[in-house]
Chain A
Amino acid sequence: MSHLDRFKNISVIGAAGKMGSGILLLNVLHATKLMHHAPYLGQTFVINAIDQDFEHLQGLMNYLKEQLQKWAEKNIVELRKLYANRAHLIDNKDIIEAFVFEALSLVKPSINMEAAYHSTLIFEAIIEDETIKSSVLKQINDNNPHEPFFLTNTSAIPIEVLNQKAQLDGRIIGCHFYNPPAVQKLIEVVELKGGHPELSKIVDGFARHMDKLIVPSFDVAGFVGNGFFMREILFAEKMYNDLRKELDAQQALLITDKVSHELMMRPMGIFQLVDYVGIDVCVLIMKVMNTYLDEEIVSPLLTGLLEKGVRGGQHHDGSQKEGLFKYVKGRPVELYDIDTDKYVALKAPASKADEYLSVQTKVYSWNQLSRSKYREQHLKEAFEHLANEDSRGARLLKTYMAAMKALGLQLKEDGVTASTDYVNAVMMNGFYHLYGPVNDYNF
């Protein structure tokens, strides 16, 4: 069986979830590309979308339709060429409708795991729980006569653990997509030592077809992405705790967030990112990493929030749930006050935080820089000024930047990655940072 033949019958487990739905969409687009070219013209493709209940699957199909329509509209030039030999499809509208119909027809929604018993490729994107994951993978493997290949979207559990527990005989690879998978270019790939050699070729081919960037990581819990992110949360929490010695909770939290956002010129601050990913997800990933690493990765701050029911994460429509911040149209407007367990308007504490930071250097917003072709120059100049500035904000920034660099270097030293370039690549492509943590800025 060729690598591409394996894509003729695939299953996405956890398809209605945040990651699963994106992975499903990517696979639908991949299959529609294949089926229009020899040798797959006229052949049957099956994509099983498996999840726990019909309600979520119904939502998934609506999401898919909307996304496929958007994709088709954006790629109408390419699509018109693809449908050139279909004489009755004349207008763009005809072609877009035909494409969406055909693409959706590939998807077979199901609540039964049995649907995956005929698949040759299994994409797994279920809860980050070793026992549940390995049990699902084992069930499919035990009942599937095709010796399927498994691509797990785990962002923290060592692949070797899943391989052993599910008895997959090396037919598994870590294929960690970033949210949202259809948009984010990065796939962090974790090869199993002694794993099936064809797996990495399949992932390479898939990534190439879908214009994705692969960054390899070694099989160490958390890999590069969460290995960095979770430890950064712990660092930010330490900064928060240090600030608490002189400031109230609102100020300590906001100042830490502002340093990691505005002064570091990132798309969002560390605590907003925690909200985006989900406080519950972060706590779960830390728990997983804690299980496999000789290092205490625990966040009393996030655990405490979770106990109070502050969870973050996103609604099914992609809008942001309340977490450390409350959001309107994706923008934080209120801040959770840990001392009083109430949300307070952001404006006044934000001004107070700016006053505390008292930064003199003109820093650019991430939005400005991400569109500027003079980005490198602006970053260099701004960081040079900040490195020479003696404000509270500049001092906090220096501490934060130095800690991030140390984190990146530590990941290489701990054998999580072969190069700090990969750390930079993950943070820049997966987290949209404009520069990597291991950099030459003078901090």
Chain B
Amino acid sequence: MQKRVFIVAGYNTVSLGSGRSEFNPKKENPGLAHYIQEAGRKVLARINGAEHVDESVIGNFIASRFNNQAHLAAFIPSIDEKLKYKPAIRVEGACASGGLAVMTGVKSILAGTADVVLIVGVEVQNTVKAMYGADFLAQADYYPKRKDGHAYFFPGKFSDRAGAYASAYGEEYMRKGLAQWYVNCVENARLCETAQEFENKSDKLMETGLLPPDGSRFVDHLNYTDCSKVSDGASAIAIVSEEGLKRTGIAPNKAIELVGFAQAEDNIMEEPVDPLELSTTKAAVNRALSMAGIGKEQLATVETHDCFTIAGVLATEAIGFAAKGHGAAYVAEGNTARNGTIPFNTTGGLIAWGHPTGATGVHQVVTIWEQLTGQAGQAQIKVPDNKPYGMTVNMGGNDKTVVSMVFKKCK
């Protein structure tokens, strides 16, 4: 990279939805403005004021449906009046909107148009019941396919992938991997106060995760526990240049450096080339690692887009930790647990921290920032000196838009 790019001052709101004791679907819950302002203001406080911000980017998937609200960039000045008349832009790439927002900010730094960029990702989804939300979220795929799709469209899509995986490698074999992924996520979420499953006290996680799916009520190859949460929330972070780091007065050891990134796009009108593979993820990850000049073995942790447990398992294969078809065993053997070979999704991932779609890509970066700077609290993992890297994988649609980034701990 022609310039050094740093990530500082991350913040996540609570991921609100079922599982949180303060959540009541029958009562009015906080809206978009609340989340944008809460997350934005916390970051501004940490960078010592809005006056340091040159530009802002907000990532959001589909507030125009869930909240009847478009034009989200114009919410940015509501965070702080010093942001009024400064540039702000909203970006959308389905569930990868957050990752794209970060990428957009990075490009501003690299282009030299900004030294400090405020990034906010937000989504408020609990405004409608799940079966109506499924209609909105289905727009992350090619709309003419909606009619033939499942009532719960994306669970249906990833159930198809799980069905293909089960056919190829065995139902029981796959189920053990999916169940272990779920267990890992909830156990990690219990260590993170903002996680949606923070209060989950079940002592039967594995038993629940192993239950056979019931296609008559839901989808054929996945359980509810295999699905990410329906969430409201926002995440925010600042992207700064070296000059920006000085300007905000943040100590280098409270920053992480972006050392590689890639964004890959596949044709939304086409079905996946191979349902057993996340080929777009693979392309993005390989390019990001290559740009960073490191191998996957040097990663201390990964935040991957486990919108479904099967996506988590397939990601271990796409990144290369497991060979094709071996991901379920890799997960079942504990390699991706917080004390495993490569801890994945250390605050619960989309399955248990939550999935406020437009915020997810930013939340992943915040989590890596927390882990590499030693600010992850109870959820902190050990980051070995010889593995000072963390990676994010943020996916939109059925592996159509993928953003992958590699970060390095700063000294």
Q: Interface on A for B, CB 8 Å cutoff? A: 73, 76-80, 87, 90-93, 96
Chain A contacts for B132, CB-based, 8 A: 92-93
B25 to chain A, nearest CB (A): 13
Chain A contacts for B411, CB-based, 8 A: none
- Name 23 interchain pairs, CB-CB below 8 A, sorted by A: A73-B131, A76-B131, A76-B151, A77-B150, A77-B151, A77-B152, A77-B216, A77-B217, A78-B216, A79-B151, A80-B150, A80-B151, A90-B146, A90-B147, A91-B135, A91-B138, A91-B146, A92-B131, A92-B132, A92-B134, A92-B135, A92-B151, A93-B132
The reply on B129 being an interface residue by CB < 8 A is: yes
Nearest-neighbor residue (CB-CB) of B153 within chain A: A92
Proximity string of chain B (128-157) to chain A, C-beta cutoff 8 Å, 1 when within and 0 when not: 010110110010000000110011100000
B84 to chain A, nearest CB (A): 38
Chain B contacts for A93, CB-based, 8 A: 132, 135
Name, among A76, A79, A91, A96, the residue most crowded by chain B CB atoms within 10 Å (CB to CB). Answer: A91
Q: Interface on B for A, CB 8 Å cutoff? A: 129, 131-132, 134-135, 138, 146-147, 150-152, 216-218
Name, among A73, A90, A92, A93, the residue most crowded by chain B CB atoms within 10 Å (CB to CB). Answer: A92
Nearest-neighbor residue (CB-CB) of A87 within chain B: B147
Chain B contacts for A92, CB-based, 8 A: 131-132, 134-135, 151
* Additional A-B contact list (10), CB under 8 Å, known A77-B217, A77-B218: A73-B129, A73-B131, A78-B216, A79-B151, A80-B150, A92-B132, A92-B151, A93-B132, A93-B135, A96-B131
Complex Cα distance A78/B215, Å?
Answer: 10
A241 to chain B, nearest CB (A): 44
A316 to chain B, nearest CB (A): 21
A117 to chain B, nearest CB (A): 41
Nearest-neighbor residue (CB-CB) of B218 within chain A: A77
Nearest-neighbor residue (CB-CB) of A80 within chain B: B151
Nearest-neighbor residue (CB-CB) of A78 within chain B: B216
Complex Cα distance A230/B278, Å?
Answer: 65
Complex Cα distance A132/B146, Å?
Answer: 54
Complex Cα distance A78/B132, Å?
Answer: 15
B190 to chain A, nearest CB (A): 23
Chain B contacts for A76, CB-based, 8 A: 131, 151
Nearest-neighbor residue (CB-CB) of A96 within chain B: B131
Chain A contacts for B217, CB-based, 8 A: 77
Nearest-neighbor residue (CB-CB) of B136 within chain A: A91
A-B interface, 7 closest residue pairs, ranked by CB to CB distance from nearest = A91-B135, A76-B151, A80-B151, A76-B131, A92-B131, A77-B151, A90-B147
Nearest-neighbor residue (CB-CB) of B133 within chain A: A92
B129 to chain A, nearest CB (A): 6
Name, among B135, B138, B146, B217, the residue most crowded by chain A CB atoms within 10 Å (CB to CB). Answer: B135
Complex Cα distance A79/B216, Å?
Answer: 11
